[in-house]
Amino acid sequence: MNVTDRYVADFKAFVGNGAAGAPPWLKQIREGAIARFAELGFPTTKQEEWRFTSVAPIVDTRFSHPASRIPHPGLTEIGSLLIGPGPRVVLVDGRYAPELSSAADQRSGVRVGSLASAVADGPSSELAREHLARHARWHDSAFAALNTAFLADGAFVHVPAGVTLEQPLELLFLSSGRPGADGPTVSHPRSLVVIERGAEAAVLETYAGLGDGVYWSNAVTEIVVGEGARVELYRVQREGPRGLQVATTHSRQERDSLLGVHVLTLGAALARHDITAVLGGAGAELILNGLYLLRAGQHADHHTVIDHAQPHCASHEYFNGVLAERAHGVFNGRIIVRPGAQRTDSKQTNNNLLLSTEARADSQPQLEIYADDVKCTHGSTVGPIDQNQLYYLRSRGLSAQAARSILTYGFGAEILDRMRRPAVRERLDRLVRERLA
């Protein structure tokens, strides 16, 4: 049996037990998604979008679904992965962990909880039906299709119109890294975040490995930002050293909304993150701000697509990478300006710092502009520490080592400085400092 057939067979077993309780609309989506996956198959490096990233470690490993009763960590064990005592959803190996989660205040109308239960009951179910799998482009991605086919649980966030939230909402996706009876396991965590018109909120997604075993996490997040809403989505990836992660983040913004997507990639042996951001209403603004800090033999590939579908939108994209030892960073930034998306203002930069001669970075901008009255700029750099900067700092009394460490931190700090929530920024700053120490 080839690998695609194996997942199709797994799907049959999945719908036959446990997943049978889903509403008919979701069952239909899953069936469509597995069919699409079977057509697409896993990508190979012969495909342009996967030129620099081989998914052989995923294809060549027989992953099974985790046992239903895995022991959960205690709250104290995961304390360091959380920012604060605010509302949160915690999942372990793709399953909701109610004892680790904490609901939002009912009076605000904000809902932060399990996706499975949101799909199952009343008003949330309608919202889920309206948005779930409607934004993620699973028709084009084998991984998003597979996640959608195996969609069982995840996080659901709903912030109603006009609500302003002080505290960030936390979504924590833990992977135990514990092998099942049949070897390494895969989970397909799914998030749906709906922020309605005029609301203001910050959501922090953390993906973390608890052990050093081999596992695969295949995540999909869809975020919908209503008219005039102001949202920050933070995403921290701290998977285990042998963890494999493929993730897709899809955002859709309505008129005059502001979305900041902040990415910090630290973990996993192999990581691929696709971000597709659709500016779907006039006057929307997007800040796509990411940092990858890799070492040893880590490989991380960030593919972003910013889709300017409407006029008068702005996108500012900044990705920095710091690559040590034998690490390999890939950045591909595609910007599409659709016909009629006049007065688009788009800026993209990707700067990579190589800390060793064996480290490698590949950076590719792709601009597709179909409108004439637009401003699009892009730039990328790959190189070791700048000798002029190093000399400048040394000429002020700093040792070569201190100067190098300041310049390296500066690469990260430039990205951290754009994060607007102090509590989150400080935590991420600490993670960056720990990594570079």
Which of 28, 164, 377, 399 is in the footprint of other proteins by CB under 8 A?
399
Which of 119, 281, 411, 424 is in the footprint of other proteins by CB under 8 A?
411
Which of 3, 70, 282, 406 is in the footprint of other proteins by CB under 8 A?
406
Tell me the closest approach of the beta carbon of residue 406 to other proteins, in angstroms. Answer: 6
Answer yes or no whether residue 389 interacts with other proteins by CB under 8 A. Answer: yes
What does the block give as tokens for 423?
Answer: 């509590």
Tell me the closest approach of the beta carbon of residue 349 to other proteins, in angstroms. Answer: 10
Binding mask 338-377 for other proteins (x = CB under 8 A): ----------------------------------------
CB closer to other proteins, 56 vs 402: 402
Which of 339, 410, 426, 430 is in the footprint of other proteins by CB under 8 A?
410
Q: E strand or H helix at 335, and its extent?
A: strand 328-337
Tell me the closest approach of the beta carbon of residue 318 to other proteins, in angstroms. Answer: 10
For residue 295, count CB atoms less than 10 angstroms from its CB and return exposed for 0-12, middle for 13-18, buried for 19 or more: middle
What does the block give as tokens for 425?
Answer: 């920024």
Amino acid at 399: S
Tell me the closest approach of the beta carbon of residue 417 to other proteins, in angstroms. Answer: 7
Which of 68, 76, 80, 387 is in the footprint of other proteins by CB under 8 A?
387
207: three-class secondary structure by DSSP:
strand
Answer yes or no whether residue 422 interacts with other proteins by CB under 8 A. Answer: no
Of 33, 26, 27, 44, the C-alpha closest to 7 is 33
Within 52-91, which residues bind other proteins (CB under 8 A)?
A: none
Answer yes or no whether residue 392 interacts with other proteins by CB under 8 A. Answer: yes
Answer yes or no whether residue 319 interacts with other proteins by CB under 8 A. Answer: no
CB closer to other proteins, 194 vs 415: 415
Q: Are strands 154-159 and 111-114 parallel, antiparallel or unpaired?
A: antiparallel
Answer yes or no whether residue 41 interacts with other proteins by CB under 8 A. Answer: no
Dihedrals φ, ψ of 222, to 5°?
Answer: -115, 130
Stretch that binds other proteins, among 32-40, 246-254, 294-302, 394-402 (CB under 8 A): 394-402
224: Cβ contacts below 8 Å, ≥ 6 apart = 131, 135, 193, 194, 195, 251, 252
DSSP 121: S
39: three-class secondary structure by DSSP:
helix
Stretch that binds other proteins, among 5-13, 165-173, 267-275, 383-391 (CB under 8 A): 383-391
Answer yes or no whether residue 379 interacts with other proteins by CB under 8 A. Answer: no
Within 244-273, which residues bind other proteins (CB under 8 A)?
A: none
Tell me the closest approach of the beta carbon of residue 428 to other proteins, in angstroms. Answer: 14
Which of 106, 388, 422, 434 is in the footprint of other proteins by CB under 8 A?
388
**DSSP letter string, 247-309:** EEEEEEE-TT-EEEEEEEE---SEEEEEEEEEE-STT-EEEEEEEEEE-TT-EEEEEEEEEE-
- Find out whether 154 and 166 touch, Cβ atoms under 8 Å: no
- Find out whether 163 and 195 touch, Cβ atoms under 8 Å: no
Answer yes or no whether residue 409 interacts with other proteins by CB under 8 A. Answer: yes
CB closer to other proteins, 3 vs 407: 407
Sign of dihedral through CA atoms 114, 115, 119, 124? positive
CB closer to other proteins, 242 vs 394: 394
CB closer to other proteins, 26 vs 432: 432
- Find out whether 411 and 435 touch, Cβ atoms under 8 Å: no
Answer yes or no whether residue 414 interacts with other proteins by CB under 8 A. Answer: yes
CB closer to other proteins, 86 vs 412: 412
Give the binding-site size for other proteins (rule: CB under 8 A): 26
Which of 226, 267, 281, 412 is in the footprint of other proteins by CB under 8 A?
412
For residue 129, count CB atoms less than 10 angstroms from its CB and return exposed for 0-12, middle for 13-18, buried for 19 or more: middle
Which of 9, 75, 296, 400 is in the footprint of other proteins by CB under 8 A?
400
Which of 396, 422, 434, 437 is in the footprint of other proteins by CB under 8 A?
396
Dihedrals φ, ψ of 346, to 5°?
Answer: -135, 130
Give residue 108's region: left, alpha or beta (phi > 0; psi -120 to 50).
Answer: alpha
Tell me the closest approach of the beta carbon of residue 115 to other proteins, in angstroms. Answer: 37
DSSP 50: G
Binding site for other proteins (CB under 8 A): 386-389, 391-400, 402-403, 406-407, 409-415, 417
